[in-house]
Structure 1
């Protein structure tokens, strides 16, 4: 609950620093003003609502630390490079198609 209170307080500070009312932010986020007030006071909310608020307050990048990006290790890159073809293979010449006309 302490974390929720801290997150709510942080959202409130961001909103006030942007000089926006609860009603304006709630309308932009598509939620009720009472819901925003409860979140700012540390009440539980859905992740979707929290993300909507972050997006509205232009703070969505705060979640970047939680997103992991798939990275290819240097060993995997070396293995892939080793498997790539470097030369064309010799193929036996194909005979021309047999003609039925003389």
Structure 2
């Protein structure tokens, strides 16, 4: 049964368990043992076992495992796709923003009460 759950409502631990379950099911679907995947990913079998149970994982180990399972496609949603407005495109302003900035207040001088 596939339950549709709003992932935003899950705790960090619950999300790690889902990642672990995904890795475990993908590995089993490919008929690979933990030892085989761990060897190919250059991690220990016990590390893979911990990950499959939802324990804390390093990003590097996650990438190694996903690469070994040919499942890097799950990271596709991290791809940054910039949408250019027609106005910026016409002006030739196609530079990527490098910093975030706060919105300037209309009246930055707090001593002026507008009287």
1:20 partner SS: coil
- 2:22 aligned partner: 10
Distance 1:26 1:69 in 2: 33
Cα offset, 1:73, TM superposition: 2.8
Residue 53 (structure 1) aligns with: 65
Name the structure where helix makes up a greater proportion of residues: 1
Q: Offset at 1:76?
A: 1.9
Q: In structure 2, the residue corresponding to 1:64 is in which secondary structure?
A: helix
| Cα offsets for 1:5-61 (capped at 9, x unmatched) | 111011000000000111110011110000000000011010110111111111111
Partner residue, 2:33: 21
Q: Spell out the pairing of 1:1-102 with structure 2 (5 A cutoff).
A: 1-80=13-92
Superposition CA RMSD, Å: 1.1
Count of equivalent residues = 80
- Considering only CA atoms, is the larger Rg found in Structure 1 or Structure 2? 1
Structure with higher RCO (Cα < 8 A, 6+ apart): 1
Unaligned runs of 5+ in 1: 81-102
TM-score (normalised: structure 2) = 0.65
- Which runs of 5 or more residues in structure 2 are unaligned? 1-12, 93-115
